[in-house]
Amino acid sequence: MTQSIGIVCGSFHKNEIERMLEWAKEESLQHGLEIAEIVWVPGAMEVPLAIDRLLSLENIAGAACLGIIEKGQTQHGLAMGQAVIKTIIELQLVHEKPVGLGIIGPGAEPEHIEPRLEPHARAAIAAIATML
């Protein structure tokens, strides 16, 4: 039986995330998962709410999030990333459904992003498949 998952995508780095989404789709097929919902959000701060809404759906067995939190000139990205990841972990426990973390960063430098796009996208889906 095919299980359905959702994917939350951060639109701040839309070109890179669209590429990650294609790799996530390929990986989903390899694991027999169907992507039933794709939700685009403005940035990292909105990811937990979108994940919570997806995991609340009966037909969704798990969710992945794809995004990039770059290193900025302040600690904002680091603080945001820590809060978002902590909340995602809590949502997994509340809903008892897996979430694959495909967020590059926090603190990603421009040269770190490109080589991580495909591995992070695929690993997020593989994590869901393993936990299911």
Q: List, by residue number, the catalytic residues.
A: 76
What is the spatial distance between Cα 52 and Cα 25, in angstroms, rounded to a whole number? 21
Longest dimension (CA), the chain: 48
Q: Tell me, what DSSP letter sits at residue 127?
A: H
What is the 8-class DSSP label of residue 78?
A: H
Angle between the 47-55 and 76-95 helix axes, to the nearest 10 degrees?
A: 10
Report angle CA 130, 56, 123 to the nearest 5 degrees: 25
